[in-house]
Amino acid sequence: MGIVSEYMCDRTHGTRHAIVIDPADQTPDIAANRALAAAHAGSSMILVGGSTDTDMENVHATIVAIKEALELVSWAASQDSDADAGSGEIPVVLFPQGATALSPAADGITFMVLMNSMDQRFLIGEQVKGAPFVKEAGIEPVSMGYLICEPGGKAGQVGKADLIGPQQTERVAAYAMAAQFLGFRLFYLEAGSGAEYPVNPALVKIARESCDLPIIVGGGIRDSHAARAASEAGADWIITGNITEEYDDASELQTVLTDLISGIA
Ligand code: 1GP
């Protein structure tokens, strides 16, 4: 197992938090400031990706800016024993829309199958297209079963997902088992970025009971209450995207994320 895989699959920490940065929505500098605020608030990973309008150029520039910012803070912390340490240690991982939005600067990539897509492209097409780049660049792939639940948002539409309803526990159980049997390392339950409501905690709970994989939950989580509900249902990772983009002021964002993370720690 590679370093990023080991880090993401380590279930001894309790629930951890990660932000997702969409390079289509912000400049690399703003992304870097937001990533820093998240790291200071206690986030454990930065995912970079989006459903539309990302390409090699904006993804690469964003990842380079984030990594430089985190490294600088890490270096400063190593020079000053009173400083807030640890921010430089968190991985920056690709969470791509497809094979045309990759960067060799990433620490790893969630190498995913959109399990409930009706489109061959998201089941195996993009993966085959992107594999040579991932190999050549030496980016660590972490295989992931990705399942989109209602309301699904843009990810559901773009990915042509046959969405999982909030009460479809047996369906989720079967997908979770299949994800494990297929050898995936992670299982992600997605409600869609900006979703009006997050994944039903009952679906998280049945996924937890049906496989041994780390469970990632994202989409529509905007406060500590929703984060806690997912965490208590068995989520290993809570992902937030949109709330990160609502704050231009880094210290305000840090406060909001600190509150959200305190709900799951
Ligand atoms: C990324 O869906 C998450 O997978 C992010 O969702 O933007 O709603 O936090 P939000």
Where along the chain do its domains lie? 16-258
**Ligand 1 touching residue 199 (CB < 6 A):** no
How high is the pLDDT of residue 80?
65
**Ligand 1 touching residue 48 (CB < 6 A):** no
CA of 31 to the centre of ligand 1 (A): 15
Q: Is the pLDDT of residue 85 over 70?
A: no
How high is the pLDDT of residue 88?
47
Whole-number percent of the chain with pLDDT over 90: 88
Q: Is the pLDDT of residue 265 over 70?
A: no
**Ligand 1 touching residue 239 (CB < 6 A):** yes
**Ligand 1 touching residue 195 (CB < 6 A):** yes
β 237-240/140-148 pair status: unpaired
Q: Which amino acid is at 17?
A: H
86 pLDDT tier (thresholds 50, 70, 90): very low
Q: Is the pLDDT of residue 139 over 90?
A: yes
**Ligand 1 touching residue 240 (CB < 6 A):** yes
Q: Ligand 1: which atom is nearest the Cα of residue 191?
A: 2
Closest C-alpha to ligand 1, atom 2? 219
Find the angle CA(208)-CA(214)-CA(216) to the nearest 5 degrees: 85
3.40.50.2300, 2.60.120.380, 3.20.20.390, 3.90.320.10: which CATH number matches 16-258? 3.20.20.390
DSSP calls for 57-100: HHHHHHHHHHHHHHHHHHHHHHH-TTS---GGGS-EEE--SSTT
- Residue in 240, 176, 242, 199 with CA at minimum distance from that of residue 16: 240
For residues 23-30, give the mean pLDDT. Answer: 95
- Please, which residues have CB within 8 angstroms of residue 170's CB and are 6 or more apart in sequence? 206
Pocket probe for ligand 1: among 26, 51, 157, 193, the residue whose CB has the most ligand atoms within 8 Å is 193
Residue 13 CA to residue 69 CA, distance in Å, equals: 25
CA of 243 to the centre of ligand 1 (A): 9
Residue 21 CA to residue 24 CA, distance in Å, equals: 9
Structure tokens at 162: 């046959």
CA of 128 to the centre of ligand 1 (A): 26
CA of 91 to the centre of ligand 1 (A): 18
CA of 198 to the centre of ligand 1 (A): 9
How high is the pLDDT of residue 138?
96
Residue 15 CA to residue 236 CA, distance in Å, equals: 4
243-262 pLDDT tens trace: 999 998 999 999 999 999 99
